[in-house]
Chain A
């Protein structure tokens, strides 16, 4: 009985870790779940960046996505909110590596790990314009019916220009 109680307590802590830990964790996501979330976004402009810890130019541009979110991620008097999602294409089994990476870099944007292994499936589903090279970024505004895909590197100015062109359409 005592053993069972102990196991229960251990399980409880395992299942519900402290809020601080939960906050910083990367979650895995299926493509279908990601698309569902984008579709539910209303007038939010999602900026979905596809990256990986092994991709140097991806890592180099992450600070611009942080900066972009600092400027446009807040709702203020009528302007459309922007939401950055950093979707890692690291292998799903490397979740802890991605976690360590974002903690070390103190990334504030939401980070997701794509839990798909069939590249023939997910690359075309995300965009037929995508050859598979990263970094690549998808802009989605469901209310305006906009889905804009860019296989390129970004800096703050180019992110801003794309975002402004979407919300002003």
Chain B
């Protein structure tokens, strides 16, 4: 009997551990590596393409998650406001189009056109960059600051504190950039929010 119990326990642990255990990704303060991902216009985009940037607002977002959709206008507004100040938005779709067909590059193109995205909207085949950042939901925002050491991660979390735009009262991303602009570090530098899970490639 005891063996059965142990076996079940081990089996249960194995079953659950194998499924989407969040990997250790970049932490606030880490220097991040550049990437080269395909945009909806077919061109590759890297952080280094933005010679004059002081930093970046990297947003993992997608076509179908209702929380992401609720934030689309706000992400556009962030880009319009902060790109001229040196902090462009770079959106990355972390979802696998095999698992979630509505997340394919074609659907991304359509969505970007419909919503008039002013920022690149990149695909991330095999979740390489998603895993590096340990993005775990959509939308999930990472603010980078360009320094002499490289691009340093300064903020991880939500754009603001409410999916319903009219009810939002703490504007985390805007406050974080204001802090960076004044030579300070964002506070908070880590927030949580309800969002959609990443649609991982089967077997990944």
Contacts and interface: CB of A to CB of B under 8 A. Distances in A.
Interface of A: 52, 54-57, 89, 91, 117-120, 123-124, 130-135, 150-153, 157-158, 161-162, 164-165, 168-169
Contacts of A135: 197
A165 B194 contact: no
Interface of B: 5, 8-9, 11-13, 15-16, 19-20, 22, 64, 66-67, 136-137, 140, 158, 161-164, 167, 188, 191-198
B161 A120 contact: yes
Given A118-B161, A133-B136, A158 B192 contact: no
B12 A133 contact: no
7 contacts: A56-B64, A119-B193, A131-B22, A158-B15, A161-B12, A161-B15, A162-B12
Given A119-B161, A151-B22, A158-B15, A168 B8 contact: yes
Contact of A152 (B13, B16, B67, B161): B16
B13 A133 contact: no
Given A124-B192, A133-B137, 13 more contacts: A57-B196, A117-B167, A132-B137, A132-B192, A133-B136, A151-B197, A152-B16, A158-B19, A161-B11, A161-B15, A164-B8, A164-B12, A165-B13
A54 B96 CA distance: 20
Contact of A165 (B9, B20, B192): B9
B192 A130 contact: yes
A151 B136 contact: yes
A89 B194 contact: yes
Q: Which of B8, B12, B161, B167 has the most C-beta atoms of chain A within 10 angstroms of its own C-beta?
A: B12
Given A91-B164, A134-B196, A161 B16 contact: yes
A152 B158 contact: no
A132 B195 contact: yes
A125 B48 CA distance: 39
Contacts of A118: 161
Nearest to A50: B194
Given A150-B16, A152-B20, A162-B16, A133 B197 contact: yes
A125 B193 CA distance: 13
Nearest to B190: A120
A164 B8 CA distance: 7
A57 B137 CA distance: 13
Given A162-B12, A165-B8, A168-B8, A123 B19 contact: no
B70 to A, nearest CB: 9
B29 to A, nearest CB: 19
Q: Which of A131, A133, A134, A153 has the most C-beta atoms of chain B within 10 angstroms of its own C-beta?
A: A133
A54 B192 CA distance: 19
Nearest to A148: B16
Contacts of A89: 194
A52 B167 CA distance: 19
Contacts of B193: 119, 123, 132
A115 to B, nearest CB: 14
Q: Which of A118, A124, A132, A151 has the most C-beta atoms of chain B within 10 angstroms of its own C-beta?
A: A132
Nearest to B64: A56
A86 to B, nearest CB: 15
A52 to B, nearest CB: 8
Nearest to A53: B66
B192 A153 contact: no
A5 to B, nearest CB: 42
